[in-house]
A and B are shown apart, each in its own frame.
Chain A
Amino acid sequence: MTDTNIGIAPPESFRAAVWSQFRKHKGAMFGLIVLALLVVFVVIGPLVWQPEKLKVAEALKSKNLGPSLRFPMGTDQLGRDQLARMMAAGKVSLAVGFIAMMIAIFLGTFVGVLAGYFKRLDGILMRLTDMFLALPLIPLLLVMVMLFRDKIARVLGPEMGAFILIVFAIGVTSWMHAARIVRGEVLALKEREYVLASRAIGASPRRVILRHILPNVVSPVMVAATLGVAEAIITESVLSFLGLGFPPDFPTWGRLLYEGLEYMQLYPERVIFPGLAISLTVLSVNYIGDGLRDALDPRIRGR
């Protein structure tokens, strides 16, 4: 409707325009729905689905069952309900993904804006970015886990400690791409007339950045952020797959996948469900990112 009478209708808000463009991207809408369902699954699910806690000997009688009404996703080799574990695991995996992404985006934007806006800082900050890009991620994480796990666990408890450590580790090792994107964008923006005008009337750099630059780099940052979520979930899965990170009784999707691997031939559902959850999350987040990029790009939006 909007594009037929574009000349007559009152100019629509930026947000509405983006949303209407976003809705046209089928993949993005699919991604958004799937992600919403996954979030509902891990957040609301445990409130609805509460299997009784069995003693070891009793639980073992129902080990390695296939999906049924009592256990919709079957049970594992110790007779634990897979559905409940999938929900608990998903909560951790999704939380790791989103929080690590936020850390990475905050750091990336901060470094990118400083490097792009202040010429003196540019060289140093971008070399720092290069240095971080060159660091091998997995060995670095292993060292961090070994050095700090006990110290953080003492303050925050083993589970929260591991969570903070992993989120932080993934965050500080994945901000570089965002920094590069933001810097490029800022370099172009700061030569624009409205920025020059603002500086000419004596606005402080802080005000120029917050008022004029940042709102204009939101779109590339949003795209980088969605891709970052997917990457963080995968990195966490890798760590859990290697048996690192969270304590063994603290399931994540990556760990469920690792545990199921041995039984793959006999009970394929043990790897299919966590594998599917990881893939769906990553895929839907990527599609949302794709849709957002289209929607935020004024040249595409107009068409």
Chain B
Amino acid sequence: MKLRTALMGAAAVLAFAPAAFAERGADGHVNVLYWQAPSILNPYLSSGTKDVETASLVLEGMAGFNEKGEVIARLAESIPTVENGGITADLTQITWKLKPGLLWSDGTPVTSADAKFTYEYCTHPEGGCAQAARYEGISSIETPDDLTVVITFAAPKPNPYTAFVGGTSPILQAAQFANCLGAAASTCTDQNFKPIGTGPFMVTDFKVNDVVELAANPNYRDAAKPAFATMTVKGGGDAGAAARAVLETGEFDYAWNTQINPEQQAQMSAAGKGVLLNGFGTLVERIEMNMTDPSPDLAEGERSTTKHPHPFLSDLRVRKALSMAIDRQILVDIGYGSAGRPTCNLVPAPEMFASDNTDCLAQDMEGAKALLEEAGWTDSDGDGVRDKDGAKLRVVYQTSTNPVRQDFQAVIKDWWTELGVEVELKNIDASVFFGGDAGSPDTFQKFYADVEMYANNFDGTDPEPYLAQYKCDKIPGPENQWQGENINRFCDPAYDALVDELSKTADMAKRGEIAKKLNDMLTKDSYTVVALVDRGRLSAASNTLGGVVLNTWDTELWNAQDWFRVK
């Protein structure tokens, strides 16, 4: 409630604002806190969110995403679509037009050659480009004139807004980075620490892993923006300290990623110096069901592989019963407060791809028990644990070490015990669990447990690559060094066929429909993925900072040019 009133207040201020800040640099200084400190300001050499987001103050692409996940123009004049002829009908070519008269912060003009150079920079065979995925599938980039960039794809690309779109693929200045191609990329310290850009700010001083000092870009395309003359992006501390610095002490105006528990959220907000902003993206905390047998009695190399189906989790009724026994709202209250909401979907957003599946939201313990009875699992010896044909219903439930996840484990264990399922809990250090080391038995890919819990999301706004992870050929196993993404070992030919259809469909409405169907096949039709909580992003903004809109589809600093001081 408090959060909502505060947000409404901010919105009201925003509505009356334009008259108040019509001059660049009129509002002085703004302090931003990224508790994971930025270490480089070239997003092509780092996939760290802190680096990409800080760099987005300086570097921009043709377009970006707004808070609704829609593509908005930045350097481009408009967004190319099939309707306006910017994208060819066969989906193999997209044509971007730069706004005329754009200048870099050093006063030189921005041209299409810079875009082409950026593509060459990131796809150079000797350079390790962290954002290479954004340029995947491009066969060539042509520059017929100074303002036009034509990207040709090797195959039809239903979602062509990858290259030069969003904070992860900005355009670099060719003149500045000319000597930094390939292997030389990481040796260009000056360029990587102080890139010349088109964004609202430019770097004046950069101390690695500590602080970035910025000043308003004198050549920014909107003469009235940004309202702040200077900005400091400071690093260090942890999420709790960052939240405190904005909400309780007021030392900073904005703090990124302040994930704190609901108790602390309430306590710190009460200080009245700032508000917590939350935005929901695609991050979903879920329980994954293992469709294969993880029994330690099996030989190494056969354990948790498709050779042995799971003795009881391969029965839909058991999986469904386990899901029905969970009260998701309680989980949200325990772990995330306003930064979470219950969900049943693997793809919770954007809206056009999110299924209306709400089956699982209400807990139904009796229904779950009945379902297990129906499946033949009864407590025949009266010890509180169901059994069938001499085998007990017993699951090993693993996750990474993290206070919230251990609370979830404890609560879910209580529910499952009530259901008549014996639960063994296991927690594994996060660096091992997510480490992907093929030699360790404890990685989430190896999945040497019956169920496991973690969170995952997808990059950008298009869920196709994410849904394609559940195809049969993506199952991890010894033959691919356990590197597959189909963690559940889910395999359904009908699903594979539908994913293939999705990759050939360009019509957005149709894509949404297929994506929803795929989501339902994994969730409410099969309970292979039991979604629990849709986790939002939580950042903190001071009450004196106006214009902040939390965006989960692009960088959080996406609209720093619109920020202003509330007077």
Contacts and interface: CB of A to CB of B under 8 A. Distances in A.
A258 B427 CA distance: 14
A201 interface: no
A248 B264 contact: no
A127 interface: no
A178 B414 CA distance: 45
A57 B334 CA distance: 11
B426 A247 contact: yes
Nearest to A261: B403
A78 B334 contact: yes
A249 B263 contact: no
Interface in B398-431: 401, 403, 406-407, 409-411, 413-415, 418, 424-427, 429
A78 B240 CA distance: 21
B432 interface: yes
B403 to A, nearest CB: 6
B403 A259 contact: yes
Nearest to B396: A158
B440 interface: yes
B454 to A, nearest CB: 15
Given A77-B263, A77-B407, A78-B334, A56 B414 contact: yes
A78 B413 CA distance: 13
A248 B334 contact: no
A281 interface: no
A150 B442 CA distance: 10
Contacts of A262: 240, 261, 264, 403
Interface string A230-267: 00000000000011100111000000001100110110
B89 to A, nearest CB: 55
Interface string A45-56: 000000000011
A147 to B, nearest CB: 9
Interface in A246-303: 247-249, 258-259, 262-263, 265-266
Interface residues of A, number: 24
A77 B264 CA distance: 12
Contacts of A263: 261, 263
B139 interface: no
Interface string B427-443: 10100100000001110
Query: Interface SS of chain A: helix, strand, loop or mixed?
Result: loop
A60 interface: yes
A235 to B, nearest CB: 17
Interface string A205-222: 000000000000000000
A266 B432 contact: no
B513 interface: no
Contacts, number: 68
A158 to B, nearest CB: 5
A249 B267 contact: no
Contacts of B240: 262
B414 to A, nearest CB: 5
A266 B266 CA distance: 11
A146 B427 contact: no
Contact of A247 (B296, B333, B407, B427): B427
Interface in A40-91: 55-57, 60, 64, 77-78
A266 B264 contact: yes
Contact of B296 (A146, A150, A243): A150
Contacts of A265: 264, 267
B334 A266 contact: no
Contacts of A57: 327, 330
Contact of B267 (A78, A243, A247, A266): A266
A150 B327 contact: no
Most buried by B among A60, A146, A249: A249
Most buried by B among A55, A142, A242, A262: A262
A248 B409 contact: yes
B395 to A, nearest CB: 12
Contacts of B432: 146
A56 B330 contact: yes
B543 to A, nearest CB: 22
B351 to A, nearest CB: 31
B429 A248 contact: no
Interface in B75-123: none
A25 B415 CA distance: 53
Interface of A: 55-57, 60, 64, 77-78, 142, 146, 150, 154, 158, 242-244, 247-249, 258-259, 262-263, 265-266
Given A55-B418, A243-B429, A263-B261, 16 more contacts: A78-B411, A146-B440, A242-B401, A244-B429, A247-B425, A247-B426, A248-B409, A248-B425, A249-B409, A249-B425, A258-B403, A259-B403, A262-B240, A263-B263, A265-B264, A265-B267
Closest 5 A-B residue pairs measured CB to CB?
A: A243-B401, A248-B406, A56-B414, A248-B427, A247-B425
